Amino acid sequence: MEAAPLLDIKVGYINKSIDPKIDLVHEINRLKSEKNAVLLAHYYQEPEIQDIADYIGDSLGLARRAAETEADIIVFAGVHFMAETAKIINPHKKVLLPDLNAGCSLADACPADEFAAFKARYPDHIVISYINCSAATKAQSDIICTSSNAEHIVGQFPKDQPIIFAPDRNLGGYLNRKMGRGMVLWDGVCIVHQVFSEQKLVRLKARHVGVPVLAHPECDAPVLRHADFIGSTSQIRKYAREDVHDTFIVATEEGILHQMQKDSPQKTFIPAPPESGCSCSQCPHMRLNTIQKLYLCLKYELPEIVLDEHIRIAALAPIERMLLMSKEVA
């Protein structure tokens, strides 16, 4: 019988091969313990990655875990800004991201030089930046927030405090409406949450009368109008676990459904429909990570997150402020 061909995969900038016969899950677990590495994964990773992670969470949970870990290596199954945040907090640890191209449309929409020019137009404003931005943009911010703690953090500033909120205009707009604020918004969106269709959602609701809609605040206002609950991924997960309903419509990246279904096998989760004909809502950046890349990344300790030390130090202060200001947020 002919031997199965080796799989060629890029690790950072180098091509490496995987023998398709090896048990990747077993090898990843072996390498993790041999190297004292921790695997942190976001809910939007594919299920087989979530299933071998040491911790699965939302952006806040992941940042907290990164701050607490005693591992020598952090392997981040998520996107670049998340791994970068872990590196900002842990300059002496090796932080690896299975695919360096795993970016984020929100981070890409807010280049640091353009943000500096924007900020200069509002000299009396403080800057609250959503964690979905680059280290260089974080370095120009006063405080970082995530979707779990944004309301809690904004609420700690008096109503007359002028604030710039970047880069997600949907999350910022949601906070402005809910909290009666007038924050100046940077015009960025998440390409996954922006494309949920209000029209299709209304039709879906009409077919499932009484079924609650759970939505992430990165969705735009017309979709959020139809939501019964708005929260971060971990808040959506908790709501579905604890609520008495047995069916939910879920408007966020569909990776979260894996944990929701595990929490409540008897419940039904219906993904909210995007504008396109496709019924799936997967983040193309998050999905660049695969179990094969994860294995190679651990084996070769590549690709690694490397940061300019001046930017790292400037970006650390607003992250530490966030962690301090949102200690009580679950």
Report d(CA 204, CA 226) in Å as an integer.
11
User: Tokens standing for 323?
Assistant: 């962690």
Report d(CA 95, CA 303) in Å as an integer.
9
**Nearest-approach distance from CB 216 to ligand 13P, in angstroms:** 6
User: Which residue from 326, 303, 282 is spatially nearest to 46, judged by alpha carbons?
Assistant: 282
- Residues in region 192-231 near ligand SF4 by CB under 6 A: 192, 218
The count of chain residues that interact with ligand SF4, using the rule CB under 6 A, is: 14
- Residues in region 161-220 near ligand 13P by CB under 6 A: 190, 218
Calculate helix-pair angle for 24-35, 291-300, nearest 10 degrees.
30
**Nearest-approach distance from CB 94 to ligand SF4, in angstroms:** 22
Q: Which residues pair with 143 in a beta bridge?
A: 128
3-state SS, 268-291, equals: EEEECCECCCCCCCCCCCHHHCCH
Please pick, from the candidates 134, 147, 176, 289, the single residue that binds ligand 13P as defined by CB under 6 A. Answer: 147
Expressed in angstroms, the distance from the first to the final Cα of the chain is 55
191 near ligand SF4, rule: CB under 6 A: yes
Please pick, from the candidates 226, 285, 293, 312, the single residue that binds ligand SF4 as defined by CB under 6 A. Answer: 285
The alpha carbons of the chain give a radius of gyration, in whole angstroms, of: 20
Q: Which span sits near ligand SF4 by CB under 6 A: 93-101, 184-192, 290-298, 302-310?
A: 184-192
Please pick, from the candidates 105, 137, 146, 170, the single residue that binds ligand 13P as defined by CB under 6 A. Answer: 146
Given a contact cutoff of 8 angstroms between Cβ atoms, the answer to whether 115 and 186 are in contact is: yes
Please pick, from the candidates 141, 232, 289, 290, the single residue that binds ligand 13P as defined by CB under 6 A. Answer: 232
Q: List, in sequence order, the alpha helices (H) in 69-197.
A: 80-89, 105-108, 112-120, 135-138, 150-154, 169-179
79 near ligand SF4, rule: CB under 6 A: yes
Q: Which span sits near ligand SF4 by CB under 6 A: 29-37, 155-163, 190-198, 298-306?
A: 190-198
141 is in the binding site of which of ligand 13P, ligand SF4, none (Cβ under 5 to 8 A by kind)? none
- Kindly tell me which of 214 and 291 has the beta carbon lying closer to ligand 13P: 214
Report d(CA 109, CA 70) in Å as an integer.
34
Task: Tell me which residues touch ligand 13P (CB under 6 A).
Answer: 58-59, 104, 132, 146-148, 190, 218, 232-233
Task: Tell me which residues touch ligand SF4 (CB under 6 A).
Answer: 44, 79, 104-106, 132, 190-192, 218, 253, 283, 285-286
